[in-house]
Structure 1
């Protein structure tokens, strides 16, 4: 194999595909990035066996071929080249590759004739739709903090997606909190689908979707995300996602409308004490025109703050994990939040006061009554 390519384009492509490589791999070749040069293009790809990412850039191909080179070494070398272009020649038998730049050269030992394991491609298309620029970044901020980190229920480590006529619904939960968001898709006429996407689909997709619209394609067992020059494919999670509708409260005994900045500031200061001990709750007292927040720990001390708010309904005292409330507030986009309470032992609902397409449901901490 022999080709010449631009240093800046290759660096960006290497950084894109290298994100799928895991720090530890069961197969040595999975730490590599595959380069395939043919027909005036260079295709770069990497996989961790559950996901696959490929990026394509133009190049000058003198001799077509493929090679797998150590991903981190190759990326760091190309990134540091002082020239605008470089020339790469690879021995097809040993994988040993020579990179020439100006009067200089570097030699990287590849994986011989071994290529990356074949990743299944999307052969059938069950649903396809376009997502505007920035959509997956917003969804990542709204959903990923509520995804479970525990291995005991693997299905909760993903995001449930329901695709139907006119609406695309997303739900994440770890069993104690739940995030729900939806997008209007008025032009979609395809089949209804229910799938669970791995959380890395959103984190990787947010990067691809940051400056460009993307195409989302669902198939059997796979989901594909396509941006200009890049394709990300990952396996869907298998299993039954819990019936989340039953935990979303529909009736409320109290609610308040409050400045997000004011409430966040107070919670962050109160949380300075509570955060030292993850079992320390924040006590929320709601009454006419105010929200009182307080916490105390035996070793550190106590904090108490009052935030002005528009309140309706019953006065109540309720305990929450302060970090969980802060996570929910950070996902909101407006200036004011609407907090709705269904009882001191029942879920609360947090959303933008202007009724956006996102809300968060949070269980209070158990308390003696």
Structure 2
């Protein structure tokens, strides 16, 4: 029997021997901004000025700060930005609220995606902040490294591709099949305007913008007695993983108790297993993300990861790893 410590009992384990952060693979599948694109916004968005406040809030000035802060958390993103730009006092108020500070520091890409897709009017500050503090996918309970934009819901990539709640359909297809006027549908549904980019795979670049609708929202619109059941309408429309990915982006998990920020880590052993025997099950294993604590538990069940751990002597010796993981998924 090997004398190497078990991964769960090893002191100060160096998990990089068996785990890695996928840099490029997921970014080629969901809504992603160019690196460094938001650096300027991080220094200014929802942030108070250094100078002293020279203007007031009008009647809002009469409210206790706690009540005013609670109201600001109920604002949607667009309204919050409008209020933030209204005056120095408004900017000072927004800048003093911890939830706004966390979103500026850790969720800028999601904020950018919500504005670019036209969903900023439909997403509240409190809902987005709640998603930032949520660790697990609301559907399957695994680590969720993503945000489903139409509902500001924490999710994993597997559920983005398959969960009924995360279905995305073409606005024009819904209009044609439901025989509703476009103006009526736009009033009844949050319309998603896709962002040009690569989705679901790197093989195709989508250069034009498309109008999309969440399947969940499509089921909610009111209908007359003679109208067809929305479920029947959706059943006639194709379910596309590409459209689903156009409505999702990466979102780190922020642990409020520890101040720890995690994007999720992947298993090198699962990549080895997939390269040895490509199957849907092994591919799903490769796509799964873990928190650091979750990955420690996963090591007990992954034969290939445990072999990497043993051969590296608990992360102390460099070992050969798949080219895919060495390049960070690029």
Using the size of structure 1 for normalisation, the TM-score is 0.21
Report which of the two has the higher share of helix. 2
> Radius of gyration: which is bigger?
1
**Larger RCO: Structure 1 or Structure 2 (Cα < 8 Å, ≥ 6 residues apart)?**
2
Using the size of structure 2 for normalisation, the TM-score is 0.22
